[in-house]
A and B are shown apart, each in its own frame.
Chain A
Amino acid sequence: MAAFVPYTYFQCPCSDSSTLAQSSGSNSPSSAHPDPDDGGIDDDSDRAFDPRAPRSNYSLYPLEYLLYCEDCHQIRCPRCVAEEIVTYYCPNCLFEVPSSNLKSEGNRCTRSCFQCPICIGPLAVTSIETKPDPNLLAAPDSASHSGPYALTCSYCNWTSTEVGIKFEKPNSIHAQLAKLRNGGTSRLTAKERKERRKDPAYTSQRAAAGSERESSDWQEDLDLETQFANLKLFYQSQLADPNSADHGLSSLGDLGFSSPSSLSRIMSIYTGGSLHDKKAKSRVGAMREALESDEGLQLADLDESAAISRLRQEGYDGTASTEQLLEQPPNLGEEHLHGRARFTAELRPIPYLLRTKRSKRCPVCRHIISKPEAKMQTTRFRIRLVAGSYIPSIAIRPLSLSGAGGSFSSSSTTTVPGAPLEPLKPAHFLLTFKNPIFETVKVTLGTPARTPGRFASKVTVLCPVFEIGANTDVWDEALKDSSGSDRDGRRRRGKGDEGGGGGSGGGGLTNQIEVGKIWERGRNWVSIVVEVMPASLHLREDEGDLPLREEEDVLEIPMFVRVEWEADVGGDEVGSAAHGRDSKEAREKRELAYWCVLGLGKIRRS
């Protein structure tokens, strides 16, 4: 079992509809709580937060996933932000795709970028003619060879020749593949289809097939694209034909499936409005449906005997998995799907799905809170308001007893990180809060005395109120770095100013666990101790206790964090406004409060 890694998740206010409404009503959180001094936790404790509630799954995020709206002064999460696509690009060839192409060509790369239908590895264009040298695993250099070519997987060695697909040219594979059916037969264009009908050999074959079965049953096999084209043509002619009205159930009026107006509405969804016919709107009545394959009629082929015999032959291993089928793009060159068994041997190369760069808007005030540069090649952002630049991060580290007299040292030397917690034995954890903003902040913490859920562990935050120094200019830090001493510019500690500092210097630490005292403090960070008494996971199944649920053995502490600071009035850029700190006259109180969850460790099962 993998070692447990402590975690901190923050709750986005969007999970609570009342807070979302509140923040939209008042842009400043300090106005929502006019008096932050009267015990910040109390007025929120009546709606204590249960991290195990099913709802909580959707609102808890690691800090790096959260954004921050400077206008609402609120945390925003991936669930509530509104995304807008800035750029489409192919993840394989990295070409940008103009959004105009998307409508015509779809959301997949139309160059030569394909994924393996078996293992989703990338496919390379290789020449078939040259015998592959077993000593060389490297990709052959296609430039020096001539066709035919195949797509080959560099991971599982699948090749498109397995489904009978070869290409004449090594480039524009997508266009070539669109004309090829599995097995190598080319797909007929509409024109070729018409010409084939004129061919006497084909006509006699058709007649023979028709006489064998009942003649009305005979139909041409249409692939999806052709069927759609035929149907579209048929309906178009129906819409244009004024005589098509009024035979059938006109009582359904415009709601009928065969009414011209609902048809044109549905068709415009699929064809981008090209069928939208103003005249059709005025007509009420039904049209007839397609009656033959030229009109797009395709009867279901319910004879599955071929698939069954094949299944007998190839067995389960020959069938495609659900994942493989899901990866398959809708293939327009394909025949109808009725009664079609899906075998791995029928899977086709998957053109790469395009990826996007997206900007994000605040759901409440609609301001943009994240916006990448449009160019695919650059990783820069025009706007990137991440929560980590506004709210203190919380790092968790176990502390363990190293000798008598309540003297402790960091676990990095004494205990294995991620080791299970002993039930009913007090354990200590060091929480380090790091302040990202350029103002000193006051932090107030609130936790329930007992964790929610079936197994209530006792929780005590030894120092629930403290101040963290401002995140001073980065150059100060850089200068200190280069001088090589006084890392992080520590000023004072809770106890024991000698030694390497709690948890980091290793050995010889004399910090005391004392209520109300900070464990250790640095330039813009503070470490405090939280004491837990893990619950026993003992279950009395004879008394009807349900067995342990997944993750129920994880000791999770809900913690309410209130951060207060003073900022320049109008200085919305809290995270970047280092200037004007000395102009004292225009300061206002700011406040931000949110729930988080600290995952400390797994309790040993009894």
Chain B
Amino acid sequence: MSRRPPRGEYIETDTGNKVARKATLVGTQNIMLGGKTVIQPEVMIRGDLIRSIQSSSSSASGAAPNNTAVSIGRYCFLSRGCCLRPPGRLYKGAFTYMPLRMGDHVFVGPGSVVQAASIGSHVHIGARVAVGEFAIIKDYVRVLDGTVIPPNMVIPSFSIVAGQPARLIGEVPEGGHEAFELRDLYKTVGNNPQPAPS
């Protein structure tokens, strides 16, 4: 079904990724997509901001340098106009970027900028959110619209955060885990979108 000549708004890859033609992916060779991920128009992913200093373990072992700048799991949803940008800092006297890692079922709302070091799985980031450099967001976290997460902030699992700067405003209830699933949302976009289930 994806064998048709690509004409639609999205490019659908073999692993089920739906990447909008109007998305800007810089340094695509350094961007890893786990599959079934949706990248909407006007999204920017800065795969060009790679680590300029290899970590001591990999350089010592002589392994091929790992240039992954942004890695994204399965069933992630990057909304229109959001930006994923690897964080950077001084390391042993020199400036280097570090990879941005993202788990499965991560929703990034429209207009949000993410510079986290890592984002777990089942994370919902609302619209116009700024995730500061080297922030760590664990699993099952909900970030409400307009939140500013300061650099280096750690947000443990089952947190609901909001505000500028972000503060804990609640906990994800036991019955709220399933709401993070993005399988259904995945089906609603692409070249053959299916309506949202009732």
Interface residues of A (CB under 8 A from B): 63-67, 78, 89, 91-94, 119-122, 124, 136-141, 144, 153-156, 355, 360, 370, 376, 379, 381, 384, 386-388, 395, 432, 434, 484, 487-488, 500, 503-506, 520, 522, 525, 527
Contacts and interface: CB of A to CB of B under 8 A. Distances in A.
Interface stretch (B5-13, B20-28, B189-197): B189-197
Those 4 A-B pairs whose CB atoms lie nearest each other, nearest first = A64-B175, A138-B89, A386-B175, A155-B150
B174 A379 contact: no
29 contacts: A67-B174, A89-B156, A91-B155, A92-B154, A93-B154, A120-B167, A136-B90, A138-B87, A138-B89, A138-B133, A138-B151, A139-B134, A139-B151, A141-B90, A141-B91, A141-B92, A154-B132, A154-B152, A154-B153, A155-B150, A379-B139, A379-B158, A432-B198, A484-B1, A487-B194, A487-B197, A504-B197, A504-B198, A505-B195
Interface in B127-174: 132-134, 138-140, 148, 150-159, 165, 167-168, 173-174
Contacts of B88: 138
Contact of A144 (B92, B152, B153, B156): B92
B50 to A, nearest CB: 16
B60 interface: no
A403 B175 CA distance: 40
Contacts of A504: 195-198
B154 A140 contact: no
Most B CB within 10 A of own CB, among A63, A92, A138: A138
A94 B137 CA distance: 12
Given A120-B165, A139-B151, A525 B198 contact: yes
B174 A122 contact: no
B194 to A, nearest CB: 7
Given A94-B156, A122-B153, A139-B89, A488 B179 contact: no
B140 A379 contact: yes
A484 B194 CA distance: 10
Given A91-B156, A379-B158, A500-B195, A65 B168 contact: no
Most B CB within 10 A of own CB, among A122, A484, A504: A122
B178 interface: yes
B62 interface: no
A156 B148 CA distance: 12
Interface in B101-118: none
Given A121-B150, A138-B87, A155-B148, A395 B198 contact: yes
Nearest to A136: B90
A329 to B, nearest CB: 16
Contacts of B151: 137-139, 154-155
A522 B175 CA distance: 23
A520 B151 CA distance: 49
Contacts of A379: 138-140, 157-158
Nearest to A130: B90
Given A139-B89, A154-B152, A66 B175 contact: yes
Contact of A122 (B133, B154, B198): B154
Contacts of B132: 154-155
A65 B92 contact: no
Contacts of B159: 91
Contact of B154 (A94, A137, A381): A94
A267 to B, nearest CB: 35
A130 to B, nearest CB: 10
A67 B167 CA distance: 26
Given A91-B168, A154-B151, A65 B134 contact: no
Nearest to B158: A379
Given A139-B134, A140-B90, 16 more contacts: A64-B175, A66-B175, A93-B154, A94-B156, A121-B165, A137-B151, A141-B92, A156-B165, A370-B174, A388-B175, A484-B1, A488-B198, A504-B198, A505-B195, A506-B195, A527-B198
Contacts of B194: 487
A205 B110 CA distance: 67
A327 to B, nearest CB: 10
A64 B9 CA distance: 36
A124 B154 CA distance: 12
Most A CB within 10 A of own CB, among B95, B154, B175: B175
Nearest to B172: A64
Contacts of A505: 195
B175 A124 contact: no
Contact of B197 (A122, A156, A376, A488): A488
B179 A64 contact: yes
A64 B165 CA distance: 27
B174 A384 contact: yes
Given A89-B156, A154-B152, A379-B158, A63 B90 contact: no
A410 B49 CA distance: 46
Contacts of B197: 487-488, 504
B197 to A, nearest CB: 6
Interface string B50-66: 00000000000000000
Nearest to B122: A379
